[in-house]
Chain A
Amino acid sequence: MSKSNFTRRGLLKTSAIAGAGLAVPTIFTGASWAGSHTGFTNAPEGSTVTLGFNVPQSGPYADEGADELRAYELAVEHLNGGGDGGMINTFSSQTLDGTGILGKQVEYVTGDTQTKSDAARASARSMIEKDGAIMITGGSSSGVAVAVQALCQEAGVIFMAGLTHSNDTTGKDRKANGFRHFFNSYMSGAALAPILANAYGTDRKAYHLTADYNWGYTTEQAVRESTEAVGWETVNTVLTPLTETDFSAYIAPVLNSGADVLVLNHYGGNMVNSLTNAVQFGLREAQANGQDFQIIVPLYSRLMARGAGENVKGIFGSTNWHWSLAQGFTTPDGTEVAPDPASAAFVKSFGEKYGFPPSQAAHTCYVQTLLYADAVNRAGSFNPCAVVEALEDFEFDGLGNGPTLYRGADHQCFKDVLVVRGKENPTSEFDLLEIVEVTPAAQVTYAPDHPNFGGAEASLGSCNPGA
């Protein structure tokens, strides 16, 4: 007989209590939006203005968050007249002169989103209430972006989204106070489909594995619809839990499904693991329907490609921006693309400061900060409604993506999209993706009331200056 005082019931009871305690969500106190301002939330007083950088500093996207934060620090340095000025020098709007924003020196506070909506809202709220942030920006997940955007709308501050790719951010969940520079799922699908049809033919059967959350759904829908439009057939779509790390049980059935293409609607760690599993299961050597089996990753990031190592070689995907734009390149069909001076300026200042090229997350965050600062300067006011007006239908160039429009109807940027492919012979640990095509903005533009973006019912509402 055991003399232990250990019991099964005791274990289950204590485990349950411990688990429940850990699972209690952050509870917010219902403090009202504080402040004695002149007409809008956190109107800057004195000689400084505070921006709030809300990025994942812990959790699965922490590396992406760290790169975003580097970009924000660089942007603040450039706005305040430090460094070499980066893309301020190439930006088509010339209101930024190194004297801060509207003559006020830029200061910043940071928050940790943890890639969790409630934590992200709590940190954004704290930056607005306690630190007096006039604008919130950042994030590396669409779930977080949608949640923080709604909070900023309520609070009466501007939200400049970071890396968020779901259609919903500027689709059914669009808000007047929120703006997105990053591209979206629909654009990825529209840019990828013709390239895929060209490379792999129009008689293809696709099998989708999709991350089971907001971004996964819209990406699957976009790629499914755009590839079906070029003649592909969708054999199956399977949702995978966001927390899954071993995708073997989902990959194995693909072989016998009749499919000859696997689309991985996964991002970050999910993508690294699912792609690695797919390669381990021999999908890249497999034959199906008399053709070579192919794998596609709709949204690529260089940080992710590094995680997946050798496995990314030859795999197609799309990206918002890539540092190789700075050097110019030749596409596989022989088109010479000249170096982009704006990208070169950004890669130079970022690379010299940190020792490696910036990621697409860093790029979009840097650009969003400059766009906000410029809009305030042009509006002559920090009032969110004045900023919204300045940004709506604003056309600009010189920020790395060529001529770009901040569409007024949904606050989404329209610009060229990059279709990329894992490079066969990388020359360094950063040189993992090659640009296959720069898809022109016109090809990825859609109507603001597109059914995938909330249809006719989707509305920005009206801008909220708060206070």
Chain B
Amino acid sequence: MDAIILQILNGLDKGSAYALIALGLTLIFGTLGVVNFAHGALFMIGAFCAVTLQRILSLSHEVVDETRTDFLGNPMKVDVPYVYDWFGEAAGQAIINWSVPLAILFSIPVMILVGISMERGLIKHFYKRPHADQILVTFGLAIVLQEIVKAFYGANPIPTPAPAAFTGSFDFGVLLGFDPFTIIYPYWRLIYFVFAMVIIAGVFAFLQFTTFGMVVRAGMADRETVGLLGINIDKRFTLMFAIAACVAGVAGVMYAPIVAPNYHMGMDFLVLSFVVVVVGGMGSLPGAVLAGFLLGILQSFASMTAVLDVLPGINQIIIYLAAIIVLLTRPRGLMGRKGVMEE
């Protein structure tokens, strides 16, 4: 029982990341009709926003410490962050400590800029081209973006810790009456789950309760008619692309303390997120979220030792297996509607 609760919890944070990425993908599918293989790269850029802000805040100047020697036996040069000089050591340390939450604010303008320049600069030229072209160009873009990140940050994962206050873990076992150290769950993963729920609710509320959202929903259903009503749908769709980029970006920022960011983390999530979108039902935002959590939890269960002993290797294929079963029984995905994105 405790193992099952633990794996459900485990699936929630992975599912949160899948859901947030799939949400953005579906928004872009739905509005622009573009298969955006560079969406994973946006998630990765978000994570690197956290790394970048951490580095900016840690910018330092060298102070020679005569009392210590470096590896060559010379007086040691110690790096003192500028924030220490400006705010004092304790406050400076606290600011660096909180770089990940602060990076959310930092990432929003960055992601809007990246999203708009990506859409206006490249993707809009491919709206009328075949899907194969769209896939190739966005896939190529993803490779270019990840190589740029690698050139600047190197190939190794970069630790980006959460604020010290959230680094511990919560003992659910004690809460539920189990022994201590049976169901332990890190605070930051709980925060990630709550954060994902807030973002998802925010996006849904935006689409449901604002005029802008209404126009976008109308445009997703019938772009031509909305255009005929004199609404500049292209402009709104560009903004939607920027919003989708932001969702992926903040998802990446918050994910940085969970898995140390590296340049190919976007690709790792991208393929699975596409499966999530297909399983959820193309063009269905609730479907993307539901499938994200469902597949995240399924994947966690498949990694359990008890399951692996019976079905070795199931952890590698469970998501695809689930996708096959869902598509065989419900060809439009879990919540896909008839007529959406069909000829």
Could you tell me which A residues sit within 8 Å of B by CB distance?
1-8, 10-12, 14-15, 17-18, 58-63, 236, 238, 241, 243, 245-246, 248-250, 252-253, 255-257, 268-269, 272-273, 276, 280-282, 286-288, 303-304, 306-311, 323-324, 326-327, 347-348, 351-352, 356-357, 427-428, 430-431
Contacts and interface: CB of A to CB of B under 8 A. Distances in A.
24 contacts: A2-B342, A3-B223, A4-B33, A12-B278, A18-B136, A58-B155, A63-B154, A63-B156, A246-B259, A248-B258, A249-B7, A268-B156, A269-B157, A280-B169, A280-B186, A281-B184, A281-B186, A282-B169, A282-B171, A282-B184, A282-B186, A309-B159, A323-B71, A428-B76
Interface string B288-321: 0000000000011001110010000001100000
Nearest first, the 9 closest Cβ-Cβ pairs linking A and B are A62-B155, A249-B303, A282-B169, A309-B159, A280-B186, A14-B132, A4-B33, A249-B300, A63-B156
A102 to B, nearest CB: 33
Contacts, number: 183
A352 B70 CA distance: 12
A272 B156 contact: yes
B139 A18 contact: yes
B185 to A, nearest CB: 8
A304 B158 CA distance: 10
Given A6-B131, A10-B131, A18-B135, A430 B71 contact: yes
Contacts of B13: 248
Given A8-B278, A59-B155, A252-B7, A2 B76 contact: no
Given A2-B221, A269-B157, A246 B136 contact: no
B305 A238 contact: yes
A273 B181 contact: no
Interface of B: 2-3, 6-7, 10-11, 13-14, 29, 33, 35, 68, 70-73, 76, 130-132, 135-136, 139, 150, 154-159, 161, 167-169, 171, 180-186, 188-189, 220-224, 258-260, 262, 264-265, 268, 274, 278, 282-283, 299-300, 303-305, 308, 315-316, 332, 339-343
Contacts of B315: 241, 249
A248 B185 CA distance: 10
A430 B79 CA distance: 13
B259 A8 contact: no
Contacts of B222: 1-3
Given A58-B150, A268-B156, 13 more contacts: A2-B222, A2-B341, A6-B131, A18-B139, A60-B262, A245-B265, A248-B14, A248-B300, A272-B159, A323-B71, A324-B71, A347-B71, A347-B72
Given A7-B343, A323-B71, A428-B71, A245 B259 contact: yes
Given A2-B342, A8-B342, A269-B156, A256 B33 contact: no
A164 B159 CA distance: 25
B181 A287 contact: yes
A362 to B, nearest CB: 14
A282 B135 CA distance: 42
Of A282, A303, A306, A431, the most chain B CB neighbours within 10 A belong to: A282
Contacts of B157: 269, 272-273, 307
A326 B305 contact: no
A341 to B, nearest CB: 14
Given A15-B135, A253-B305, A241 B316 contact: yes
B282 A256 contact: no
Contacts of B10: 248-249, 252
Contacts of B168: 282
Interface of A is mostly: helix
B155 A257 contact: no
Given A6-B131, A246-B14, A287-B181, A273 B342 contact: no
Nearest to B278: A8
Contacts of B154: 62-63
A391 to B, nearest CB: 31
B340 A2 contact: yes
A7 B132 contact: no
A307 to B, nearest CB: 5
A38 B157 CA distance: 48
A245 B268 contact: yes
A264 to B, nearest CB: 15
A256 B3 contact: yes
A59 B154 CA distance: 10
B341 A4 contact: yes
A2 B132 CA distance: 20
Contacts of B259: 245-246, 273, 276
B153 to A, nearest CB: 10
Contacts of B185: 281
Contacts of B73: 327
Contacts of B6: 252-253, 255-256
A256 B182 contact: yes
A247 to B, nearest CB: 9
A235 to B, nearest CB: 10
Contacts of A256: 2-3, 6, 182
Contacts of A60: 155-156, 262, 264
Given A249-B7, A427-B68, A11 B35 contact: yes
Given A2-B221, A7-B343, A428-B71, A255 B135 contact: no
